[in-house]
């Protein structure tokens, strides 16, 4: 038996957590864990909390593999615990990155100042304004690591005046977002959509099950599919 740990982003409320949990509980064979991360504590303390959560809930169960699906800040928290979860056999890891959405904390800090942001939203958003978070290590796994990239602006990002033009070209670099990714998938959706889009969730499930996305390189599932594959795998 394998387990799946889903680490959501700082803006994901209970509805989005429930949506992604329900999908994987319904469609997968994994034991699914969606911890309610105390992100207001900031990156370091939340990382310590996550290590304790994983130890309490997964260590004794002896899963064959523990897979991870990480959304933006959830991915930074996951990277912050590198080397501290050796008590589980790490399986496939899938990162959901959103270059436009990742500009939101910095834009909020410019608008409200970091101190105001700290009091209004907690320490995680102030931590996300720091350039050093991009230097966090990527935990290694014996299995595949994949990347989903959101290319559109959320309603919050738009309200702050953010768009693709607000993001420097290097922010879209696959090797920067996930060095040596096994497979990469770009989705023409925003952070408002990815927790509830069954199309994106089905691609995430396919990767976590098979180590690659099901859409072939350059392909689309149908005319209305807002997805373009940048896959690096060779189809079987």
Q: How confident is the model at residue 21 (pLDDT cuts 50, 70, 90)?
A: very high
In sequence order, what are the residues at sequence separation of 6 or more whose Cβ sits closer than 8 angstroms to the Cβ of residue 129? 105, 106, 109, 114, 117
CB 105 within 8 A of CB 126: yes
Dump pLDDT digits (tens) for 139-183: 988 899 999 999 999 999 999 999 999 999 999 999 999 999 999
Dump pLDDT digits (tens) for 55-77: 999 988 989 999 999 999 999 99
Average pLDDT, the chain: 87
- Scan for tokens 């933006």, then name that residue: 72
Q: Does 120 have pLDDT greater than 90?
A: no
Q: How far apart are CA 195 and CA 201, in angstroms?
A: 7
| DSSP reduced 3-state for 109 | helix
Domains belonging to the chain, first-starting first, are 3-229 (3.40.50.1820)
Which of 101-105, 114-118, 145-149, 156-160 comes out lowest in average pLDDT? 114-118
Q: Output b/e per residue, 25-43; b: 16+ Cβ within 10 A.
A: eeebebbbbbbebebebbb
Q: How confident is the model at residue 131 (pLDDT cuts 50, 70, 90)?
A: confident
Question: How far does CA 189 lie from the centroid of its chain?
Answer: 14
pTM (two decimals): 0.88
What percent of the chain shows pLDDT beyond 90?
Answer: 65
């Amino acid at each position: 038996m394998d387990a799946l740990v889903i680490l959501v982003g700082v803006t994901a409320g209970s509805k989005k957590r429930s949506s992604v949990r329900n999908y994987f509980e319904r469609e997968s064979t994994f034991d699914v864990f969606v911890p309610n991360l105390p992100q207001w504590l900031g990156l370091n303390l939340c990382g310590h909390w996550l290590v304790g959560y994983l130890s309490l809930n997964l260590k004794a169960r002896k899963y064959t593999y523990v897979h991870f699906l990480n959304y933006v800040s959830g991915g930074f928290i996951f990277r912050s615990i590198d080397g501290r979860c050796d008590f589980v056999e790490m399986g496939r890891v899938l990162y959901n990155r959103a270059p436009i959405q990742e500009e939101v904390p910095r834009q909020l800090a410019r608008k409200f100042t970091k101190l105001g942001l700290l009091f209004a939203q907690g320490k995680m958003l102030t931590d996300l304004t720091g350039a050093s978070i991009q230097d966090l290590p990527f935990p290694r796994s014996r299995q595949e690591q994949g990347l989903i990239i959101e290319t559109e602006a959320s309603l919050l990002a738009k309200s702050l005046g953010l768009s693709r033009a607000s993001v420097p070209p290097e922010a879209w670099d696959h090797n920067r977002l996930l060095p040596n990714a096994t497979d990469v998938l770009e989705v023409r959706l925003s952070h408002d959509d990815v927790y509830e889009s069954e199309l994106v969730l089905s691609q995430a499930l396919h990767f976590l099950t098979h180590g690659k996305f099901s859409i072939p390189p350059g392909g689309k599932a149908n005319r209305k599919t807002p997805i373009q594959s940048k896959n690096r795998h060779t189809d079987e």
